[in-house]
């Protein structure tokens, strides 16, 4: 009997822990949005400087690596589509295939995974270090709401910058595909880009932006909730950082699958 109940007990505890974590993240989201909107009325105003600093760290500092990765992905898609569609004599469809796959799927997904590994881990490490050193408790003692001070600026900055990074990545990836695919299609890169613009509609770009907004929520909430729950000193901070990255990427992929299923039926 014990051999049967022990695995069930572990499963139950894991399920309860997962539900507790989701509830805690939802509470952080609600409190962050509340303090962002009406915090100034209760003496907890959202600092614009903190939001701008987070925007710089999350968005501006990530532009070089996003550009490099998006350019590489664009070239890769150009290579694959030219080769695959060429087997069926459908090379003329390379432009629309690249444009829609980048704007609907790859731009948002690649950017979110990159930001999760870069900024999501930084949030978990920063808040985890403050939790271990009792700085979070000190903030509460002196009358500063930790959620307003640590979570709300990061959440607002992520909701602004991740969609912008996604649009930037879309443009760079399509340009990278144009540089490779245009000679194979016997057109110029400029003509390739103009054809891409004529084939895309606002819904294609909107789908990627909507995904990136959801990804932004996931990355921020997983990072901060993991950071606040750190125990065990410096070793716990390391575990929390790893956990934040792994969970963020897993939830990003699951959310992307759900989006793709409902938006492309």
Place of tokens 């879309």: 170
Q: Which of 11-20, 112-121, 131-140, 250-259 has the lowest mean pLDDT?
A: 11-20
From CA 135, how far away is CA 25, in angstroms rounded?
Answer: 20
189 compared with 41, residue with greater pLDDT: 189
Domain ranges of the chain: 2-263
pLDDT tens digits for range 115-134: 999 998 999 999 988 888 88
- The pTM (predicted TM-score) of the whole model is 0.89
Q: Measuring CA to CA, which residue among 25, 4, 13 is closest to residue 251?
A: 25
Cα separation, 142 vs 138, in Å, equals 6
Residue 211: pLDDT band with limits 50, 70, 90: very high
What 3-state DSSP class applies to 143? Answer: coil
Please provide the size of the chain in residues.
Answer: 265
Angle between helices 152-184 and 2-38 (to 10 degrees): 100
The DSSP H or E segment spanning 1 is none
pLDDT tens sequence across 133-166:
888 888 888 888 888 888 899 999 999 999 999 9
Cα separation, 225 vs 243, whole angstroms: 11
């Amino acid at each position: 009997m014990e051999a049967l109940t022990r695995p069930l007990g572990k499963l139950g505890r894991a399920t309860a822990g997962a539900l507790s974590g989701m509830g805690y993240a939802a509470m952080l989201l609600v409190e962050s949005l509340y303090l962002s909107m009406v915090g100034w009325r209760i003496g907890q105003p959202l600092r614009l400087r903190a939001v701008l600093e987070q925007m710089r760290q999350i968005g501006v500092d990530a532009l070089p690596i996003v550009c490099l990765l998006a350019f590489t992905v664009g070239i890769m898609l150009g290579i694959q589509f030219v080769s695959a569609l060429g087997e069926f004599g459908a090379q003329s469809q390379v432009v629309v295939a690249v444009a829609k796959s980048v704007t609907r799927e790859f731009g948002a997904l690649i950017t979110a995974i990159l930001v999760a590994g870069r900024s999501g881990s930084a949030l978990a490490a920063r808040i985890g270090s403050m939790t271990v050193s009792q700085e979070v408790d000190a903030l509460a003692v002196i009358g500063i709401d930790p959620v307003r001070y640590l979570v709300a600026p990061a959440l607002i900055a992520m909701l602004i910058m991740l969609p912008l990074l996604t649009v930037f990545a879309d443009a760079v990836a399509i340009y990278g595909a144009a540089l490779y695919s245009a000679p194979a299609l016997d057109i110029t890169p400029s003509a390739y880009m103009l054809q891409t613009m004529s084939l895309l509609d606002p819904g294609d770009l909107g789908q990627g932006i909507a995904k990136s907004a959801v990804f932004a929520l996931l990355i921020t909430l997983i990072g901060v909730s993991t950071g606040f729950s750190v125990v065990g000193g410096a070793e716990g901070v390391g575990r929390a950082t790893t956990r934040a990255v792994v969970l963020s990427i897993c939830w990003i992929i699951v959310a992307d699958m759900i989006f793709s299923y409902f938006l492309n039926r």
